[in-house]
Amino acid sequence: MTAARPAPVLSLRGVSKNFGGVRALVGVDLDIRPREVLGVVGDNAAGKSTLAGVIAGVYRPDAGRLLLDGEEVTLHSPAAARGHGIAAVFQNLALCDNLDVVENLFLGHEPTRGGFLDEVAMEREAWELLGQLATSVPSVRVPVRTLSGGQRQVVAVARALLGSPRVVVLDEPTAALGIRQTAEVLNLVERLRERGLAVVLISHQAVDLQAVADRFVVLRLGRVGGELDAASAGYEDLLAAMTGVSRPSGRRP
């Protein structure tokens, strides 16, 4: 008997977003559940990054509703989204290359003690968090510019986790990474799921999503082109949903 899925943490109902005459999202329905990696895949201009922005409070939808634990919420800014337990890491990462790992993690939120920065507490918390993510970052006191692409992703995700979010959105986290760095990031995604978080993993790389996702939602021209279970969906199924071209029902003679 198949176990019942947990109730969604966050749901989108009929969400649409326009940029001038461009319809970036059209009537999107989506459920995001705890302890699950939801893979969102689509071709260029499918609406993936816009979807990430709506969930993270960067964009306000022109139509539709967002429901947190079944209650309608308005995410009018990234700060509001974080206040509701939703964190996001976008493709540019927004890290300061000249600062070290600790300084990047706590930038703008530095704890103080006796009127001075509590360097010991920051370093301790940084090591604890990175240790939970099973990271290969060599030290929390090295400048971020010296880290690999995969290690930089880990730092950006660790910063997002400082607020103890329930939902984490990762927008194209493996873009421009090599095979080894990609594997490091996908391992990180699995660690997030093990922590009980709901993970929205957005990518145009279907192969990467297949490695870690529990479900797939395919976006095509701003619309949901299909929702597939990772246990039964193959690459051809994803490709068919992405392109709108049905799989052939039989083999060629």
> Does residue 129 belong to any structural domain of this protein?
no
What pTM value is reported for the model?
Answer: 0.87
* Pair 158, 170: CB distance under 8 Å: no
Residue corresponding to tokens 């490695």:
211
Residue 57 CB partners (closer than 8 Å, separation 6+): 75, 76, 77, 78, 79, 80, 81, 82, 86
Q: What is the pLDDT of residue 253?
A: 43
- Give percent of the chain with pLDDT exceeding 70: 95
- The residue range of the domain holding 22 is 10-97+150-243
Mean pLDDT check: name the lowest of 145-149, 214-218, 245-249.
245-249
Distance, in Å, from the CA atom of 59 to the CA atom of 61, rounded to the nearest integer, reads: 6
Total count of domains within the chain: 1
pLDDT at 182 over 60: yes
Question: Helices H, strands E: what count in the chain?
Answer: 8, 12
> Does residue 231 belong to any structural domain of this protein?
yes
End-to-end CA gap in the chain = 39
SS3 52: helix
Mean pLDDT for the stretch of residues 38-47: 91
Mean pLDDT for the stretch of residues 187-207: 91
* Pair 24, 222: CB distance under 8 Å: yes
> Does residue 64 belong to any structural domain of this protein?
yes
Mean pLDDT check: name the lowest of 71-85, 114-128, 213-227, 230-244.
230-244
Q: What is the pLDDT of residue 249?
A: 53
Among 156, 50, 38, 56, which Cα is nearest to 97's?
A: 156
- Helix 179-194 to helix 149-161 angle (10° resolution) is 20
> Does residue 124 belong to any structural domain of this protein?
no
> Does residue 102 belong to any structural domain of this protein?
no
> Does residue 122 belong to any structural domain of this protein?
no
The β-bridge relationship of strands 215-220 and 223-229 is antiparallel
Distances in Å between the alpha carbon of 127 and those of 24, 171, 247? 40, 25, 48
pLDDT in tens, 89-144: 998 888 999 999 999 999 888 878 888 888 889 999 999 888 888 777 889 999 99
- Which residues does residue 11 pair with via DSSP β-bridges, in sequence order? 31, 67
> Does residue 72 belong to any structural domain of this protein?
yes
* 119 CB burial (10 A radius; 0-12, 13-18, 19+): middle
Q: What is the CATH number of the domain that holds 175?
A: 3.40.50.300
